[in-house]
Chains A and B, each alone.
Chain A
Amino acid sequence: MKKLINDPQDFVAEMLKGTALANPGSLRYVPEFNLIMRVDAPREDKVSVIQGSGSGHEPAHVMFVGRGMLDGACPGDVFSAPPVDYVVGTTKMLNSPMGVLYLVNNYTGDGMAFEMAAEIVEAEGIRVATVVIDDDVAVKDSTYTIGRRGVAGNFFVIKAVGAAAELSASLDDLVLLGNRVNSVTRTMGMALTSCTPPAKGSPLFELGQSEMEMGVGIHGEPGRSREPLGSANEIIDALVEAVVADLPYRRGDQVALMINGLGATPVSELYLAYGRAHEQLVARGIDVARSYVGEYCTSLDMAGCSVTLVRLDDGLVDYLAAPADVAVRIF
């Protein structure tokens, strides 16, 4: 393992400290709960929107904390849902009279941590509601599993809900909006390489030089199939086909298109992928109205990408276009 780390056990804490030091005017780090929060939260005139999830997906979600997006994020260890206490502590620190909204990616651990935390804080009179995000089409949504995973599409739920919360939308309205965005968002990813969690010190799974994993999860979980490595066009066409067919997105639909890097894919390759995906959608009569290219939800040092589509309507476009001020910036 060759990484820019010290003691693997300090990896998350040192990353969070750096995030706060890089944004002294807007972010605050609370080590006790792995919490990155807005310095001005909680506010009486807005619902506090919080995320948990595991670490290792940066910029998701600690670097999405800021005006117009999240009020706080309390990640667990790498690829591990936060302990219940982190969520309880974060909820109490961000408790607003308008309520607290949990945005939870659909994983067993996250679901249980937020469910237990909700039981505990509700007993103390705090009003909470939950939106579960499950945009990954690679996993069948069946009663025999816990259902589809939450992956890169969570960005759109955070962005829309964050913008509406900034305009003082009620907790109930935010739940409706979050569920609406989730219902029109679909993602599928693929891995060219495995990834190495610092505490493990070796790749999470083996992927041969001439193999790829289609439908991979953002923790390296298996996807739909392991296949011989294809060309960029073949890979992107397969991802676009899987995503488009799932909702399905139809001729005349207006969409947002996101090409998300999984951590070790050059920006050049992401734009190459974007170009192909864009053309494929146009050829299907689907109008790409908003474009997103870069790293939004990564899997440590995994090479690969995911394709996300969101079916837009006028209200949703306004929320996505609304200003936000988060740690991720290049200006």
Chain B
Amino acid sequence: MTATLGDVAFVIGSMARTAVDNEGLFGELDAVVGDGDFGYSMARGFEAVLAGWSELDRASIGGFLKGVATTVMGRMGGTSGPIWGTALLRAGTVAGNESELECAEVLAMLWAAIEGIRQRGKSDVGDKTLLDALVPAVNALEGELLNGGAAADALSRAAVVASEAAEATRPMVAKRGRASYAGDRSVGTLDPGAAAVARMFQDIAASWSEHVGRSDSEAHT
């Protein structure tokens, strides 16, 4: 399995549409224990990515991801801007000047993004954040890919794991972000960041085969 710039752009575009389409849902989830700004911040940041889509640098995967990161940090406020900006920047640094990545490089890129989120948020798995969905999902993706699984299967597995992991944040006590002020009262609610990650994986997995089919037909014309 390899990933082209087109594949990376598809994933980013899908994530952006998920953020824009679910502004209300993510805002409602955040309002339960946070302050309700999560959906709005995510939507405004990724809306800016879609608005500037055609102007993004497409010379390399690293350049593309850094362009996305810059756009996100220019518009996305709250906790989300630094978190997603850092993740995209770190991923871009690993991807560098390549226009196609080997499987191991794709995984290294995802783990670098996760490490960036850990450092920026001073948080880890178990704190009731997006990491609680993202880390298990990338672990599942890695397991499938290293076993020789196809990208489509690996993404489907990651989407299932991410959804289960997001659901598993309900009984957790929030330790980061404004939800942490709620302490024990945060128990019983879904973490909005984890829910967003799960929804992104679901949407990517659902449309991946369509994307691959389109890429193949483009390659043959």
* A109-B40 contact in complex given A79-B35, A221-B181, C-beta closer than 8 Å: no
Chain-B contact segment, one of A43-51, A143-151, A235-243, A288-296: A143-151
- 1/0 per residue, CB under 8 A from B, across A42-64: the answer is 00000000000010000000000
Instruction: Determine which of A84, A138, A204 lies in contact with B81 in the assembled complex, contact meaning CB atoms within 8 Å.
Output: A84
Q: Is A78 positioned at the interface, with any CB of B under 8 Å from its CB? A: yes
The reply to whether A112 and B31 form a contact with Cβ atoms under 8 Å apart is no
- 1/0 per residue, CB under 8 A from B, across A218-230: the answer is 0111110000000
Q: Is B19 positioned at the interface, with any CB of A under 8 Å from its CB? A: no
Instruction: Determine which of A139, A146, A197 lies in contact with B36 in the assembled complex, contact meaning CB atoms within 8 Å.
Output: A197
Residue of B with least CB distance to A216: B181
Residue of A with least CB distance to B74: A85
The reply to whether B77 and A83 form a contact with Cβ atoms under 8 Å apart is yes
The reply to whether A108 and B121 form a contact with Cβ atoms under 8 Å apart is yes
Bound Cα distance from A245 to B86, whole angstroms: 40
Interface size for B (C-beta < 8 A) is 35
The reply to whether B176 and A108 form a contact with Cβ atoms under 8 Å apart is yes
Q: Is A272 positioned at the interface, with any CB of B under 8 Å from its CB? A: no
Docked complex: B32-64 residues within 8 A CB-CB of A: 33-37, 40-41, 44-45
Q: Is A264 positioned at the interface, with any CB of B under 8 Å from its CB? A: no
- 1/0 per residue, CB under 8 A from B, across A121-152: the answer is 00000000000000000111000111001000
Q: Is A81 positioned at the interface, with any CB of B under 8 Å from its CB? A: yes
The reply to whether B79 and A108 form a contact with Cβ atoms under 8 Å apart is yes
Residue of B with least CB distance to A219: B35
Residues from chain B with Cβ under 8 Å of A82 in the complex: 77
Write the nearest CB–CB distance from B202 to chain A, whole angstroms: 25
The reply to whether B85 and A146 form a contact with Cβ atoms under 8 Å apart is no
The reply to whether A221 and B34 form a contact with Cβ atoms under 8 Å apart is yes
Instruction: Determine which of B31, B34, B175, B178 lies in contact with A144 in the assembled complex, contact meaning CB atoms within 8 Å.
Output: B175
Residue of B with least CB distance to A52: B77
**Interface centre among A80, A138, A146, A221, by most B CB within 10 Å?**
A80
The reply to whether A221 and B178 form a contact with Cβ atoms under 8 Å apart is yes
Residue of B with least CB distance to A34: B77
The reply to whether B77 and A112 form a contact with Cβ atoms under 8 Å apart is no
Q: Is B185 positioned at the interface, with any CB of A under 8 Å from its CB? A: yes
Residues from chain B with Cβ under 8 Å of A77 in the complex: 37, 40-41, 44, 77-78
Instruction: Determine which of B79, B83, B185 lies in contact with A222 in the assembled complex, contact meaning CB atoms within 8 Å.
Output: B185
Bound Cα distance from A85 to B77, whole angstroms: 9
Q: Is A304 positioned at the interface, with any CB of B under 8 Å from its CB? A: no
Residues from chain A with Cβ under 8 Å of B45 in the complex: 83
Bound Cα distance from A77 to B34, whole angstroms: 15
**Interface centre among B33, B82, B181, by most A CB within 10 Å?**
B181
Q: Is B29 positioned at the interface, with any CB of A under 8 Å from its CB? A: no
Write the nearest CB–CB distance from A227 to chain B, whole angstroms: 14
The reply to whether B178 and A108 form a contact with Cβ atoms under 8 Å apart is yes
The reply to whether B82 and A116 form a contact with Cβ atoms under 8 Å apart is yes
Write the nearest CB–CB distance from B127 to chain A, whole angstroms: 9
Residues from chain A with Cβ under 8 Å of B183 in the complex: 140, 145
Residues from chain A with Cβ under 8 Å of B85 in the complex: 84, 116
The reply to whether A80 and B176 form a contact with Cβ atoms under 8 Å apart is no
* A112-B35 contact in complex given A84-B73, A145-B180, A146-B176, C-beta closer than 8 Å: no
The reply to whether A112 and B82 form a contact with Cβ atoms under 8 Å apart is yes
Residue of B with least CB distance to A143: B175
The reply to whether A116 and B120 form a contact with Cβ atoms under 8 Å apart is yes
Can you report 9 A-B residue pairs in the complex whose CB atoms are below 8 A from each other? A77-B77, A83-B76, A85-B73, A108-B176, A145-B180, A145-B183, A199-B40, A219-B37, A222-B33
Given A77-B78, A197-B37, A221-B181, 19 more A-B residue pairs with CB atoms under 8 Å apart are A54-B77, A54-B78, A76-B78, A77-B44, A83-B45, A83-B74, A84-B82, A108-B79, A108-B176, A113-B81, A116-B73, A145-B175, A146-B180, A149-B181, A197-B36, A217-B178, A219-B35, A221-B34, A222-B181
Give 7 nearest A-B pairs by CB, closest first: A76-B77, A219-B35, A112-B82, A109-B79, A80-B78, A80-B37, A80-B77
